[in-house]
Structure 1
Amino acid sequence: MVELKANQPRWRQVHAILAERIRTGEYKAGERIPSLVDLIEEFGIANATGQKVMRALRTDGLIRTEPGMGSFVTTPEERREIEADHAKSADSA
């Protein structure tokens, strides 16, 4: 189990670790990342914490989730599309 610091929100720590794994290529574009159950076991976090991490990774454009299939690292093209969608949403707000 990965040891997390007590003085920082657990979801932020797990998010940072997974984002780093994506950025360094440990999890490659198009590759399936560990399931929520696997992340809960690896980091010793609650289900709600794991769900928050996954939402944040999706919001950041780092992963996409396919129902019944799992979550996958986005490709650079997918990230550009997500960023463009976020920009459009911000412009219309």
Structure 2
Amino acid sequence: MIVKRIETGQYKPGQRIPSVVDLTQEFGIATQTAQKVMNALRKDRWIRTERGMGSFVTTAEERTAEAGDAPE
């Protein structure tokens, strides 16, 4: 659902996405499940997380960059 929102432009590059807590409430899922979702989105480079700031949608360039070239 989150990827679909990114692909359709509902969540735009650089935009902050809902937190784990927000996801648990919106989708009625367990906190652990929401954390797994966020980890998978990070692994696949759909989002980047900035400590203390939240998680943000990456650009298409960030998603396709080589692992060593990805911005931190």
| Same fold at TM > 0.5 | yes
Q: Which runs of 4+ in 1 moved over 4 A?
A: none
The residue aligned with 2:48 is: 64
SS for the counterpart of 1:30 is: coil
- Distance in 2 of aligned mates of 1:60 and 1:22: 13
- Structure 1 position 52 matched with structure 2 position 36: yes
Structure 2 unmatched ranges of 5 or more: none
- Distance in 2 of aligned mates of 1:18 and 1:77: 18
Give the CA deviation at 1:20.
Answer: 0.3
Equivalent residues in 2 for 1:1-93, closer than 5 Å = 17-81=1-65, 84-85=66-67
- Distance in 1 of aligned mates of 2:41 and 2:35: 10
Give the CA deviation at 1:77.
Answer: 2.1
RMSD value, Cα:
1.2
Give the CA deviation at 1:80.
Answer: 2.3
What TM-score do you get using the length of structure 2 for normalisation? 0.88
Give the residue type in structure 2 aligned to 1:85: A
- Distance in 1 of aligned mates of 2:35 and 2:19: 11
Q: In the comparison of the two structures, how many residue pairs are matched? A: 68
1 or 2, which has the higher helix percentage? 1
- Larger-gyration structure (1/2): 1
